[in-house]
Amino acid sequence: MATLELLNVKKQFGSVTAVENFSLFVNDGEFVTLLGPSGCGKTTLLNIIAGLEEMTSGEVRMNQRVVNHLSPFERNVAMVFQNYALYPHMTVAENIGFSLKLRKRPRQEIMERVAQVARMLELEQLLDRLPRELSGGQQQRVAIGRAVIRQPDIFLFDEPFSNLDAALRIKTRGEVKLLHQKLGVTSIFVTHDQEEALSLSDKIAVMRQGHLEQFGTPEEIYSKPASKYVARFIGSPQMDIFEGQFEYSNNRYVYRIGSIALVLPHSITIPNKPIDMGIRSEFVKIGETGFPATVHLVQPVGPFTYITVYWEGGSATARVNGISHLKPGEVVQVEFASEALLFFDRESEKRIDLW
């Protein structure tokens, strides 16, 4: 069990800066996800935490102790790799027990602990198999077993689900979450999949080009994104963001997007700079009231249907429950839930509260 602290971590590869001024505090037992597109530096950061990569400057602390110069083993971290990195010439049992063998534990103890881990991960029948004789999901479990047996202070996961098919990914996701609930070990999880991040994490660190863009709970990240970048990166379908402008008409402030003008609450304070407005699809309502728009695209996905509508100067996607029978070309009434509107400074792209 451990807390983890990153202090101004910086990593350069030649002239390329992979991670810049990255600071983060992870509480004991927390499940934290590093989320970002490929190339944003999240795996580099994970390798730095693991001790597999040296940082250019900064500090990594575990339980308040600086561990910069400790080996991965001395840091007592365990890591699950993207391609599992199972030792191909060793059986499942040997793979799981390898770290204990290196520590010269007695054979009997190794066997017992391997059996215990195998029971927990339902690998008992597979202990004598070689990795190549296992399915992707089984290999994944062996990789987790190899990490669990170490009884590490911190678990590190490097996109561990990216080689699994969609159904297995969701199943394994659940297993990892259960494992975390059971063991309560501090975990750092790297992924580019926002759904994975939202569903697993206590907190999410959204990364962009080596920087920390936002660090917060999944709820904060989703409903109060710190910037346009986070807003767009989180949530599916992507948040609609409009480059409109404020106007004052009929004693009310409105936000104009092309031919439509959204009426804003009285309590609003209008800043003296260009502002973009964003809204998530579940707050775009299709019904009796609102402004007229034409249906452009209807995409049923099972529990919901995503309906993209357009009007002169803009378009937005609405999420409606169940299967919708709207057809492209139909004219519907669209309403934006004003309490869910998000505003962003066009210049800095940061979100600002206007009421």
Residue 141 binds other proteins (CB under 8 A): no
Residue 326 binds other proteins (CB under 8 A): no
Residue 88 binds other proteins (CB under 8 A): yes
Tell the smallest beta-carbon distance from residue 163 to other proteins (Å): 12
Tell the smallest beta-carbon distance from residue 212 to other proteins (Å): 24
| CB-based contacts of 306, cutoff 8 Å, min separation 6 | 237, 281, 297, 298, 299, 300, 317, 318, 319
- Residue matched to tokens 């975990």: 187
C-alpha to C-alpha distances, 283 to 31, 138, 241, 262, nearest whole angstrom: 29, 40, 13, 14
Using CB under 8 A, pick the residue from 12, 17, 56, 82 that binds other proteins: 82
User: Binding to other proteins (CB under 8 A): which residues in 334-353?
Assistant: none
Residue 81 binds other proteins (CB under 8 A): yes
CA–CA distance, 120 with 134 (Å, rounded to integer): 18
Q: Which is nearer to other proteins, 154 or 264 (CB)?
A: 154
Residues forming beta bridges with residue 34, ordered by sequence position: 190, 205
User: Binding to other proteins (CB under 8 A): which residues in 149-188?
Assistant: 150
Q: Which is nearer to other proteins, 129 or 350 (CB)?
A: 129
Closest CA to 320 of 283, 278, 271: 283
Tell the smallest beta-carbon distance from residue 335 to other proteins (Å): 50
Using CB under 8 A, pick the residue from 18, 24, 55, 78 that binds other proteins: 78
Residue 113 binds other proteins (CB under 8 A): no
Closest CA to 43 of 79, 87, 93: 79
Residue 83 binds other proteins (CB under 8 A): yes
Please spell the DSSP secondary structure of 222-289, one letter per residue: HHS-SBHHHHHHSSSSPPEEE--EEEEETTEEEEEETTEEEE--TT----SS-EEEEE-GGGEEEESS
Using CB under 8 A, pick the residue from 16, 38, 69, 102 that binds other proteins: 102
Cis ω before 237 (30° cut-off from 0): yes
Q: Which is nearer to other proteins, 89 or 119 (CB)?
A: 89
Q: Which is nearer to other proteins, 71 or 236 (CB)?
A: 71
Using CB under 8 A, pick the residue from 79, 207, 279, 334 that binds other proteins: 79
CA–CA distance, 292 with 315 (Å, rounded to integer): 12
Q: Which is nearer to other proteins, 179 or 264 (CB)?
A: 179
Q: Which is nearer to other proteins, 89 or 171 (CB)?
A: 89
Residue 136 binds other proteins (CB under 8 A): no
**Binding residues with other proteins: total (CB under 8 A):** 22
Closest CA to 177 of 155, 194, 192, 199: 199
What is the rounded end-to-end Cα distance, in angstroms, of the chain? 42
Neighbouring C-beta atoms of residue 168, cutoff 10 Å = 15
Question: Pattern of binders to other proteins over 44-73, x per CB under 8 A?
Answer: ---x--x-x------------------xxx
Using CB under 8 A, pick the residue from 7, 85, 130, 183 that binds other proteins: 85
Copy the structure tokens of residue 242: 């409009």
Copy the structure tokens of residue 295: 């249906």
| Interface residues toward other proteins, by CB under 8 A | 47, 50, 52, 71-73, 77-79, 81-83, 85, 87-89, 98-99, 102-103, 146, 150
